[in-house]
């Protein structure tokens, strides 16, 4: 599950509540809001939750680390860093796992999925840097949950259009999640589709829009 965005080459409220394993003691210190525990209707799981990260979140480092691992080391889309000027105005979203760790994952894995959302023009939003840790890609609810969290959050902040440039192998997956392909693109030598989310499916979240101060 991979997704880039414009900078990369010039790209119903769920009935679920907080996962049972995500106890108040685990929540302490993470720096997330209660609304973060709303999951996609097709991605309901006790194992994973999806969070808009605050500047003081202790998950920020894991967010950056996973992005670099996927887009620099694994895919070689970027050389040393996938960070760019959009990160100064983008909101990071992370997927967390709860319960027993994956046997294939490193012991220090906390963030198992990432995506960012950014308003490039008034009411025009893009999702990008969507990726899932290699040890967790068999759990397709992580990708679904990240997409749900990204689009419903932007929709709650006054989004009229939500776009993403999606790698070719993931276009069918996005179409099943109520996205439409607009055009084909090639970004950094990789085939993509520019796709648009059906906002009538992604019911606006109630989470307030935070300030833009990312921790390093």
The CATH number of the structural domain formed by 2-197 is 3.40.630.30
pLDDT at 54: 83
Say if residues 130 and 115 touch (Cβ distance below 8 Å). Answer: yes
pLDDT at 39: 52
Residue 155's nearest CA partner among 196, 211, 114 is 196
pLDDT at 198: 97
66-92 burial code (b ≥16 CB/10 A, e <16) = bbbbbbbeebebbeeebbeebbeebbb
> pLDDT tens string for the chain (216 positions)?
445 444 444 332 232 333 333 332 233 334 344 444 445 555 556 778 899 998 788 899 999 889 888 877 666 566 677 677 898 899 999 999 876 665 555 545 689 999 999 999 999 999 998 999 988 888 778 999 999 999 999 999 999 999 999 989 999 999 999 999 999 998 878 899 999 999 999 999 988 887 765 544
pLDDT at 21: 33
Say if residues 167 and 190 touch (Cβ distance below 8 Å). Answer: yes
pTM confidence score? 0.76
pLDDT at 7: 42
156 CB burial (10 A radius; 0-12, 13-18, 19+): middle
Listed by start position, the domains of the chain span 2-197
């Amino acid at each position: 599950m991979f997704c880039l965005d414009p900078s990369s080459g010039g790209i119903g409220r769920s009935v679920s509540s907080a996962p049972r394993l995500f106890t108040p003691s685990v929540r302490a210190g993470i720096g997330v809001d209660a609304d973060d525990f709303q999951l996609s209707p097709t991605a309901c799981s006790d194992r994973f939750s999806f969070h808009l990260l605050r500047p003081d979140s202790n998950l920020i480092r894991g967010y950056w680390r996973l992005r670099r691992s996927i887009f620099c080391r694994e895919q070689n889309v970027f050389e040393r860093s996938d960070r760019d000027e959009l990160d100064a105005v983008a909101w990071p979203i992370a997927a967390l796992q709860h319960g027993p760790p994956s046997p294939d994952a490193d012991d220090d894995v906390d963030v198992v999925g990432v995506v960012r959302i950014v308003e490039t023009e008034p009411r025009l939003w893009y999702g990008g840097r969507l990726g899932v840790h290699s040890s967790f890609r068999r759990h397709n609810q992580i990708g679904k949950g990240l997409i749900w969290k990204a689009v419903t959050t932007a929709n709650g902040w006054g989004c009229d259009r939500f776009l993403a440039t999606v790698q070719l192998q993931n276009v069918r997956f996005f179409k099943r999640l109520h996205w439409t392909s607009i055009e084909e693109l090639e970004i950094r030598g990789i085939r993509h589709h520019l796709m648009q989310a059906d906002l009538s499916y992604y019911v606006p979240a109630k989470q307030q829009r935070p300030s833009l101060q990312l921790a390093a």
